[in-house]
């Protein structure tokens, strides 16, 4: 297993429903994997970790507890060209992808694999050039989508296309390769509500659905969604961090179970903005049981969501033993089996944390009963017996 102590299985008592594919592979079910992981818990959004020269691709993925895109990560291939017309995968690619999934789960038995299903935009090769499922403006011109990728908009307003998207989601789930799907660019409207209802009707209640809402809530569609991908492109101000915290807290209370909220913050100056890495980790751990990521900003010319792996994430905190405590000094703390994590938001004063016993700061290495934590930072304070 990877990262000493990071993926030790912890006994839990949870009711769960495992798919037939998972049962045949000897896997634990989705709920057990989500509940069985230790914290901190990190996810991979499309792009790989870069600072692990001794790790091959599978090892790099398996350091994370949740990862997408499972279709490309595991080698699934749609059986029709252009691929946007396909509703099934090539059978031999399913066999190959299942083998890769088993290798990943052997390294990290708590890993959750998610497949992105494109519905909002795609590369021009996704559909035939003049296909009816491209979205058009009033002049009949195809609407441009994600500019950086040169994508074009897909017409999810079309009921036939929504049914097609749901069939593709079902193919992903029936393959046994992914535990759920990701829907990017999630802004609530009537057509997206109809889309997620169509998808749920196709795949059923158990597979996971994650939607990229950035730092917004989703009260109309939340009943169909297990987790937000919070791609937090705004993190420059205290108000930004407050909005992130409030949205994450909302998601932990209102989305469907099991919940898999994923919070990503981009660096401001470089990947060495370690206070920001610790802050998003601590915010995620105090305000949720979710997954965190600290990555490159999207405007860079390199692929989006590339990131480093930080020793801070190798800490073995174990499981939470209670809910967060909002301190009088503006910080938030939460107790775990092996220590305490504290989040001090941007705009707050430095705070002093005092314990009844000696604790080791994971950020500084200092061992003391009293520690000082700056604003826009977070830290883990390990007990004496913690690894």
> 345-369: per-residue pLDDT in tens?
999 999 999 999 999 999 999 999 9
- Locate CATH 2.60.40 in the chain: 321-387
- How sure is the predictor about 14, in pLDDT bands with cuts at 50, 70 and 90? very low
Q: Which two three-digit tokens encode residue 371?
A: 């520690």
Task: Kindly state the average pLDDT of the residues 36-42.
Answer: 97
Q: Which of the residue ranges 19-28, 183-192, 270-279 would you say has the lowest mean pLDDT?
A: 19-28
- How sure is the predictor about 34, in pLDDT bands with cuts at 50, 70 and 90? very high
Q: What percent of the chain has pLDDT over 90?
A: 89
Q: Residues 165, 33, 199, CA angle at the centre, nearest 5°?
A: 15
Q: How far apart are CA 39 and CA 35, in angstroms?
A: 11
CB 135 within 8 Å of CB 185: no
Topology of the domain covering 20-120+156-314: TIM Barrel (3.20.20)
pLDDT digits (tens, 9 = 90+) for 136-186: 999 999 999 988 888 999 999 999 999 999 999 999 999 999 999 999 999
Q: Name which residue leads in pLDDT, 385 or 225.
A: 225
Bond before 258 cis per omega within 30 degrees: yes
Mean pLDDT of the chain: 93
- Locate CATH 3.20.20 in the chain: 20-120+156-314
pLDDT digits (tens, 9 = 90+) for 273-327: 999 999 999 999 999 999 999 999 999 999 999 999 999 999 999 999 999 999 9
Distance from the Cα of residue 68 to its chain's centroid: 8
Confidence (pLDDT) at 165:
98
Angle formed by the axes of helices 238-254 and 274-287, to 10°?
30
Task: Kindly state the average pLDDT of the residues 70-95.
Answer: 96
pTM of the model: 0.93
- How sure is the predictor about 384, in pLDDT bands with cuts at 50, 70 and 90? confident
For residue 52, pLDDT beyond 70: yes
CB 192 within 8 Å of CB 186: yes
For residue 8, pLDDT beyond 80: no
Closest CA to 382 of 154, 372, 374, 365: 365
Q: How far apart are CA 248 and CA 228, in angstroms?
A: 8
Element holding 199 (H helix, E strand): helix 190-203
For residue 7, pLDDT beyond 60: no
Sheet of 43-45, strand order: 43-45, 66-68, 112-116, 180-183, 208-212, 227-232, 262-266, 291-295
Q: How far apart are CA 262 and CA 183, in angstroms?
A: 13
Q: What are the strands, taking DSSP E only, across 167-302? A: 180-183, 208-212, 227-232, 262-266, 291-295
Cβ-based neighbour number of residue 309 at 10 Å = 17
Indicate the burial class of 20 (C-beta count within 10 angstroms; 0-12, 13-18, 19 or more).
exposed
pLDDT digits (tens, 9 = 90+) for 194-244: 999 999 999 999 999 999 999 999 999 999 999 999 999 999 999 999 999
For 320, residues 6+ apart whose C-beta sits below 8 A from its C-beta are 39, 285, 289, 334, 335, 336, 337
Q: Which two three-digit tokens encode residue 251?
A: 């998601």
Q: Among all chains, which residue has been given the structure tokens 């919940």?
A: 259
Topology of the domain covering 321-387: Immunoglobulin-like (2.60.40)
Confidence (pLDDT) at 130:
93
């Amino acid at each position: 297993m990877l990262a000493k102590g990071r993926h030790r299985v912890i006994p839990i008592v949870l009711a769960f429903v495992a798919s037939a594919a998972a049962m045949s592979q000897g896997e634990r079910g989705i709920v057990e994997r989500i509940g069985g992981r230790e914290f901190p818990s990190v996810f991979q959004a499309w792009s790989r970790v870069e600072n692990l020269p001794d790790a091959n691709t599978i090892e790099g993925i398996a350091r994370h507890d949740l990862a997408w895109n499972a279709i490309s990560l595991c080698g699934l291939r749609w059986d029709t060209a252009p691929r946007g017309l396909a509703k099934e995968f090539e059978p031999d690619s399913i066999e190959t992808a299942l083998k890769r999934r088993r290798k990943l789960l052997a390294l990290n038995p708590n890993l959750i694999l998610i497949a992105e299903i494109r519905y909002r935009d795609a590369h021009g090769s996704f559909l035939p050039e003049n296909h009816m499922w491209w979205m058009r403006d009033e002049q009949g011109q195809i609407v441009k989508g994600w500019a950086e990728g040169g994508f074009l908009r897909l017409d999810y307003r079309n009921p036939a296309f929504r049914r097609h998207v749901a069939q593709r989601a079902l193919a992903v789930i029936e393959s046994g390769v992914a535990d759920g799907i990701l829907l990017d660019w999630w802004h609530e409207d009537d057509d997206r509500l109809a889309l997620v209802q169509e998808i749920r009707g196709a795949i059923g209640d158990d597979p996971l659905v994650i939607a990229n809402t950035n730092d917004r809530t989703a009260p109309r569609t939340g009943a169909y969604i297990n987790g937000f991908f919070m791609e937090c492109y705004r993190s420059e101000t205290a108000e930004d961090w407050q909005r992130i915290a409030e949205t994450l807290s909302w998601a932990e209370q209102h989305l469907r179970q099991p919940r898999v909220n994923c919070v990503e913050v981009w660096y401001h100056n470089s990947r060495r903005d370690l206070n920001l890495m610790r802050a998003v980790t601590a915010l995620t751990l105090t305000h949720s049981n979710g997954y965190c990521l600290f990555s490159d900003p999207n405007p860079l010319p390199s692929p989006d969501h590339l990131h480093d792996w930080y020793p801070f994430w190798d800490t073995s905190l174990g499981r939470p033993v209670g809910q967060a405590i909002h301190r009088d000094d503006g910080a938030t703390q939460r107790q775990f089996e092996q220590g305490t994590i504290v989040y001090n938001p941007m705009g707050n004063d430095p705070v002093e944390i005092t314990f009844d016993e000696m604790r080791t700061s994971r950020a500084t290495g200092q061992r003391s009963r009293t520690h000082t934590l700056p604003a826009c930072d977070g830290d883990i304070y390990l007990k004496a017996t913690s690894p």
